[in-house]
Amino acid sequence: MDNVNVTAPVKRKRRGASLTEKKSRMGWIFILPFIIGLVLFYIAIVANNLQFSLAELRSRSMAQGGGYYLEWVGIDNYRYILTELQVPNAEGENVMFLEVLGTSFLDQIVDIVTIILLSLFVAVLLNQKMVGRAAFRAIFFVPVVIGAGIIAKIDSSGQNIILEAMSDGKTIETGAVAGGGGMTGLVSAMDVSMLFMNLGFGSGLVDVVVGLVSDIYDIVNRSGVQMLIFLSGLQSISPAIYESAQMEGATGWETFWKITFPMISPMILANAVYTVIDSMTSESNTVMQDILAMEGYSYKAAASSIYFFVTALAIVIVYLVMRGFVFYNRRND
């Protein structure tokens, strides 16, 4: 740095960085713990995983001293996973990994949209004044604290036979187990599909609706954090705006679409991104289960890298799609 200053004496008058620059550099100190973690182990761990995905673990013969070593195989593991490997899908049939990835991706989209709509709807309801509001709020945030994950783990460790034994006969056969299956026996899949068939909807839509109904337990339990975020967003909308809208004679419907929805749109974006991350990385996800059940570090590592890119892609897509709808209420910009 000194040399530069000698050759450019004009700059010498400036005493290093300005106060604001100095201050903004302090930001690095605040995020230092995170950077230390990255440097100390996180990057190494991820790199190690990546290395596994590009190599194969071989054991050395005893004559050579035993132990294991990694043999570089390039993208062979990836090729194997994408073109040859068969994994069980949600129904337990063995299909190509890519196919499972695709179907689970589509299922995720339906789930994510449902979670966001449901959590927004419930947050709006919980924000209204009514009898038992505190109790309802307390109940709805139980899954946030207790964690649907552990309930699902407890249930799945016994494949729900208790619940099946307790509830009568006909239950929805799909999806219930993955989500903890607390709702087996509440609604019969037959009833739902009959209702929709009679209403004259196509079978594709029927499947989606039946899937959602049987997943309702899972979906409600995964909506907790989103509800919290929406609720906080709703609380931060100034009541004065609603008041003036009411004075102008706006109906509740108009108020929702013209005020609540735009004001809460940044939260919808944040929630969409969070929901994508959460549901792509949750263990109830078929692809996650398949990857975790894979044999061999290398295949696991390769599959997880592929899956990571799919997740990242999903987030970028969601972000780009949602960004257009977001309204920022900023006075200064």
Partner 1 sequence: MDNNNASPRVTKETKNKIRVEFDRTPLKERLKAKYLNGFFYKKVALVIFRFVLLLGLSYIILFPFFSKISASFFSPKDFLQTDVKYIPKFPTIDQYKYLITENHYLKAMLNTFLLSGICAVLQMVVCAFIGYGFAKFKFKGNGIMFAVVLITMMIPHQFLESSMYLKFRYFVLDGTGIYSALGLTQGLINTFAPLVILSLTGLAFKNGLFIFIMRQFYKGVPDELEESSYVDGYGVFKTFFLIIIPLSVPMLVTVFILAFSWQWTDIFYVNMFLPSSKTLLLTSNAFWQQMPATLEAASAAQLSGATAASDLYVVAVRNTAGFLVIIPLIIMYLFCQRKLIQGIEHSGFGGM
Residues 7-46 that bind partner 1 (CB under 8 A): 23-31, 33-38, 40-42, 44-46
Nearer to partner 1, 196 or 307 (CB): 307
> Closest separation between CB of residue 204 and partner 1, Å?
26
State the Cα–Cα distance between residues 273 and 285, nearest whole angstrom.
17
Asked if 306 interacts with partner 1 (CB under 8 A), we say no
Asked if 301 interacts with partner 1 (CB under 8 A), we say yes
Asked if 97 interacts with partner 1 (CB under 8 A), we say no
Asked if 328 interacts with partner 1 (CB under 8 A), we say yes
Asked if 78 interacts with partner 1 (CB under 8 A), we say no
Nearer to partner 1, 208 or 273 (CB): 273
**Buried b / exposed e along 178-207 (16+ C-beta atoms within 10 A):** bbbbbbbbeeebeebbeebeeeeeeeeebe
Number of residues that bind partner 1 (CB under 8 A): 99
Which of 81, 120, 151, 213 binds partner 1 (CB under 8 A)? It is 151
Is-contact 95 86, C-beta < 8 A? yes
| Contacts of partner 1 in 213-272 (CB under 8 A) | 216-217, 220-221, 225, 228-229, 231-233, 235-237, 263, 266-267, 270
Nearer to partner 1, 4 or 134 (CB): 134
Q: How far apart are the first and last CA of the chain?
A: 37
Which of 80, 141, 242, 261 binds partner 1 (CB under 8 A)? It is 141
Which of 117, 138, 205, 317 binds partner 1 (CB under 8 A)? It is 138
Nearer to partner 1, 88 or 149 (CB): 149
> Closest separation between CB of residue 289 and partner 1, Å?
10
Which of 128, 204, 240, 249 binds partner 1 (CB under 8 A)? It is 128
> Closest separation between CB of residue 84 and partner 1, Å?
21
Nearer to partner 1, 32 or 190 (CB): 32
In terms of Cβ atoms closer than 10 Å to its own Cβ (0-12, 13-18, 19+), residue 145 is exposed
Q: Are strands 86-88 and 68-72 parallel, antiparallel or unpaired?
A: unpaired
> Closest separation between CB of residue 173 and partner 1, Å?
19
Asked if 170 interacts with partner 1 (CB under 8 A), we say no
> Closest separation between CB of residue 179 and partner 1, Å?
10
State the Cα–Cα distance between residues 73 and 59, nearest whole angstrom.
15
State the Cα–Cα distance between residues 105 and 287, nearest whole angstrom.
9
What does the block give as tokens for 168? 């009568």
Is-contact 108 280, C-beta < 8 A? yes
What does the block give as tokens for 84? 């040859």
Identify the three-state secondary structure at position 199. Answer: helix
Q: What is the DSSP letter of 187?
A: S
Instruction: For residue 228, give Cα distances in angstroms to 51, 119, 129.
Output: 39, 9, 17
> Closest separation between CB of residue 181 and partner 1, Å?
9
Q: In sequence order, which residues have a C-beta less than 8 Å from that of residue 305 and are 6 or more positions away?
A: 49, 50, 53, 78
| Contacts of partner 1 in 51-70 (CB under 8 A) | 52
Nearer to partner 1, 42 or 197 (CB): 42
Cα dihedral value 158, 115, 270, 135, nearest 10: -80
Which of 147, 195, 203, 207 binds partner 1 (CB under 8 A)? It is 147
